[in-house]
Amino acid sequence: MVMFVAHLSACYRDIVVPFPRQVIGLLSEHHAVLNSDVRQTLCRALILLRSKELVSSIECLEIFFQLFRCRDKVLREMLFT
């Protein structure tokens, strides 16, 4: 569902305005307890939202640097690339 909304966000910009903040909030508050696949999906959605210019680079970088502390090697590799 998250990726579906992220893909359609360019078409419905006025409706999905709070969506990037919700994704960032989920990642910042619950990154330690989220499943690895859920964390990666949320990060991919955030990257997609960034490419559609719905979230700023600074906001993405702030949360991504927080996520480097996770003990998830695949996530860290994805964020590094």
Q: 20: pLDDT confidence band, cut at 50, 70 and 90?
A: very high
* Residue 81: pLDDT over 90: no
* Residue 18: pLDDT over 90: yes
Q: Which residue, among 55, 41, 50, has the nearest Cα to 67 in the 3D structure? A: 41
Q: Which amino acid is at 74?
A: V
> For residue 53, is it left (φ>0), alpha (ψ between -120 and 50) or beta?
left
* Residue 50: pLDDT over 90: yes
**Please, what is the Cα angle at 70 between 66 and 74, to 5 degrees?**
110
At 25-44, the pLDDT tens digits run 999 999 999 999 999 999 99
Token pair for 65: 């640097």
Mean of per-residue pLDDT scores for the chain = 93
Give mean pLDDT, residues 58-71: 92
**Please, what is the Cα angle at 62 between 59 and 63, to 5 degrees?**
90
